[in-house]
Amino acid sequence: MLAIILAIFLLTNPQLSKNKYVSSDFKLEKGKHNEFALIVTLKPTNGIHINSEPAPSIKFNDPPVEILEIKFDKTEKNYIDTQKPIIVKLKSKTKNLKSLRGELTYFYCSNSEGWCSKFVEKFEVKP
């Protein structure tokens, strides 16, 4: 019984999975008509970088949205410039968007130790 309760808690808590090497923040800004911008800020700890290849990917669970553009800047070493946010331009397929749930996938690496890892972060934001 405890295992079932724990499984339900893990599935319904979108902020539970956190990366100890990269902190994140998600904001949803309303634009014109049914357009929005999801602003994603990633802040790696010292000695960690976020890869631009493969590029971060995002998928949305609910409600249905169309991704118009994913934009981010790169450093001289072709990493994601984490001094600036990742901007995901969206168009909602429903009126009155109350919240947006999804998953952001990115790869991060240690500069000194030479390892890399994939991370999938679940999120939920409100405009």
Per-residue pLDDT of the chain (127 residues; tens, 9 = 90+): 444 443 444 444 444 568 999 999 999 999 888 899 999 999 999 999 999 999 999 999 877 899 999 999 999 999 999 999 999 999 998 878 888 999 999 999 999 999 999 999 999 998 8
| 96 is a domain residue | yes
Predicted pLDDT of residue 16: 52
**Domain tally, the chain:** 1
Tokens of 80: 């994601």
In terms of residue numbers, what domain contains 56?
Answer: 18-125
| 1 is a domain residue | no
| 25 is a domain residue | yes
**pTM across the whole model:** 0.82
Q: Which of 91, 44, 88, 96 is nearest to 69 (CA)?
A: 88
| 10 is a domain residue | no
| 67 is a domain residue | yes
| 112 is a domain residue | yes
Predicted pLDDT of residue 14: 44
